[in-house]
Every structure is written in C-alpha cells, then in structure tokens.
Structure 1
C-alpha cells in the first residue's frame, strides 16, 4: 500500500515503526474511530507490552503519531509531484490515491479526512491535528504553484481546490468502487491549472 508501506520487520528498533504503519493502514480502512490497540498489535506483530513502552499515553498517542506519519507520507508525495510541474503534480497526486484504492479493493480512504470527521473523545482530539495536516498539504501545493509562476493569492485558492477536489473524488471513487470520479477530477484540475498558468 502506498500510504502505509510496511516498515522493515527486523530489529527491535523497528517495532514502533511497524506499529505506526499498521495503525495508518487500519485508519485508511476503517477511520481513526475504528482502530483498536489489539488490531494494531495483531497486524504489526508487535509484543503487547510494546504498546505502553512506545506509547505511554495509550491509544490516543498511537493514533496521533500514526496520523502525523500519514500526513508526512502524503506531504512527501505532494512535494515531489508538484516539483515536476502543474500537470505532473495533479497526475502523481491522483495516481497516489488511485493506487491506494486499488491495492485495498476500494476498501480504503484518506486517514486524515476520517480523523477530521471525528468520533469519540479521543478521536475528537485528532480534528485540530487533521486541520494542520490539510493546511500543510495546501501550503506545499501553493508553494509549488508559485514556483511555476502563479501568483501567491491564486495559488492559495487553487491549492484548496486541489485538496478538496481530490479528497471528494476519493470518497466518490470508494463509494462507486470505480476510479472514474478521481480521473474526472484530475482532468478538470489540469485544465484549471493550465488556464491559471496561461493567465499569469
């Protein structure tokens, strides 16, 4: 899976990373509210005692750190994608999510979006963190667009459009079990970006 690529299995130093990657993968499948410590242990193969060794605050800390990891993985993808140009940026960003959907047979979604929706008291504490992550993604895209020659003001608006459109396309694709909604979003966004570049 793209966003929750398995961490190396060998070595005690990898236990925490295995647990975090397992938590991210579970979050893509069933939202933050549906992730339990027992499932993380089962999927990561980590010893039960390692939970409170690496995450002394328990599930809340585990989910917060997993959400941070998920945000960083996508942020790295965005940075690389938009360093290559507007069209390439959209293409790679959409392919990133398409690969996740296909890998999980449409049983996955964006873990940041699921955290933003919230659930119980612990999961509600993830909402501000999700907001920061979404803003980071927008800032990275806006910076890439500015480097391409688009004005700062326009780049900020376009970055919000890009993130919200792809997140929405991801939801529609999962619901319909078809990547066509994401492809349509990509086509429209590429036209919008090309028009913005032509106007500058």
Structure 2
C-alpha cells in the first residue's frame, strides 16, 4: 500500500471515529484498529499523536464540506443550503443516526490549552463554511452584515440539528430546520 493511501485511510478512519464517538472517547489504538492500520504506522504518519490525527480528520471533513458547498453555491445560496442539508441527511441516515460531525465533536470537548490543534482546525472549518455561505448570500443580494449573520445561523442551526437527529433517530428536525432556513435565506436576498 502506498504511503499516502495508508495515511489517508488513517485520517478518514479518524474522522469516522470522531463523528461517532468524539475526541475524548477515542484512543490512538482504537483509531489504528478502526482504520485497519498498524499502531506504529499511526505514530509514523502522525508524530504529534492523537491531536495531530484529529486535526487532520477535521481538515478532511472541512475539505469535503467545502467541496460540496463550492459545487452548489454558484447556483445560489438556497442550492448551497440544500446541498449542506442533503449531505448531513445522508450522513445521519447512512450511519443509522450514529454519526454526526467530527468538526462539532472536536469543538465541544475539553482539550489541553497547550495542544489545541484540533479545536483550531474546527474553528477554521466553521469559518470556511460560513465564509462560503456568506459570499454566496452577498452575491445574490444580501448585505454583508445580513449575509454574515445568516451564514452563521445556517452553520449553527444545521450542526445543532444533526445532534437532534441523532438523539431522536429521525430526520424530522433536519427537515424543519431546512425549511425555516430557506425562508431566512429568501428574506435576506430579497433586496428592494
């Protein structure tokens, strides 16, 4: 197996474990086992250990979300919102409501102050998503202030709704939130 394939498999496995169990409930040993990689290779590719691997997993989740948003936002912010919702619907349904967002998982857990690389990666991910959404809203008529507020609302609402879907084992909260957010998006892009 090529080096980059093994490394990529570890990162993808870590993202999956984080979205299912969170950062603190996951050990490097479990991450290696889940990825099908020898424990030693984990430390070879990630000398910074669990923190470095978790940050890379968050960056992977960020990149996948950015790719999805970038593909849909040129059609407009409503299409971007719908793509964001569809992505989360697929994740929660395909995982039988056991998986959420690795970015959120890392954001809400305690981390040592001197080793907060995963939290910083999560903050960057949320910034990327809100910046993309806000840019699309501005391009379609929203003021910069309204676009920023609305983009933050979208990311926060969907992230929280994913947690509700997991708890309730239903996509109903996602459907309701998506409908409400679409109304907000239409309101902020309707410029007189």
TM over 0.5: yes
* Between 129-138 and 18-27, the greater mean CA deviation after superposition: 129-138
Structure 1 CA distance for aligned equivalents of residues 169 and 111 of structure 2: 28
Selected match of 2:28 from 20, 33, 37: 37
1:108 equivalent to 2:102? Answer no
Selected match of 1:141 from 130, 133, 150: 133
Selected match of 2:167 from 175, 184, 187: 175
Structure 2 CA distance for aligned equivalents of residues 96 and 12 of structure 1: 29
Aligned length: 191
Structure 2 CA distance for aligned equivalents of residues 86 and 137 of structure 1: 12
Give the 3-state SS of the residue equivalent to 1:18 in structure 2: helix
Give the deviation of 1:86 after TM superposition: 2.4
Structure 1 CA distance for aligned equivalents of residues 154 and 45 of structure 2: 36
Given that residues 23 and 105 in structure 2 are in contact (C-alpha distance below 8 angstroms), is that contact kept between their aligned partners in structure 1? yes
**TM-score for both structures, normalised by structure 2:** 0.92
Given that residues 141 and 190 in structure 2 are in contact (C-alpha distance below 8 angstroms), is that contact kept between their aligned partners in structure 1? no
CA RMSD of aligned residues (A): 1.8
Structure 2 CA distance for aligned equivalents of residues 147 and 199 of structure 1: 12
Match of 2:147 in 1: 155
Structure 1 CA distance for aligned equivalents of residues 65 and 114 of structure 2: 21
Runs of 4+ that moved beyond 6 A: none
Structure 1, unmatched stretches of 5+, are 1-9
Q: 1:121 to 1:192 in 2, by over 3 A?
A: same
Structure 1 CA distance for aligned equivalents of residues 114 and 14 of structure 2: 14
* Between 117-126 and 44-53, the greater mean CA deviation after superposition: 117-126
Selected match of 1:71 from 43, 55, 62: 62
Given that residues 60 and 122 in structure 1 are in contact (C-alpha distance below 8 angstroms), is that contact kept between their aligned partners in structure 2? no
Q: 1:174 to 1:123 in 2, by over 3 A?
A: farther
Structure 2, unmatched stretches of 5+, are none
Structure 1 CA distance for aligned equivalents of residues 114 and 83 of structure 2: 30
